[in-house]
Amino acid sequence: MAYVISDECISCGACAPECPVEAISEGDGKYVIDADLCTSCGTCAGVCPVGAPAEE
């Protein structure tokens, strides 16, 4: 299952450069994960200061 970023996202951008498949991009008010690209590695969740990314 792909990861999704919850509304807890503070748009800090810490997750985007850590994604090995470049599935994370800046969205409208929060970052978003492209489910088609996400490999569910969990790297984004490990670097997020507010725990916004989680498995869907």
Which tokens is 20 given?
Answer: 């090995």
pLDDT at 12: 98
Residue 53: phi and psi, rounded to 5, are: -75, 135
Instruction: Name the strand (E) or helix (H) holding 53.
Output: strand 53-55
Regarding pTM above 0.75, the answer is yes
Owner of token pair 């490990």: 46
pLDDT digits (tens, 9 = 90+) for 1-56: 899 999 999 999 999 999 999 999 999 999 999 999 999 999 999 999 999 999 98
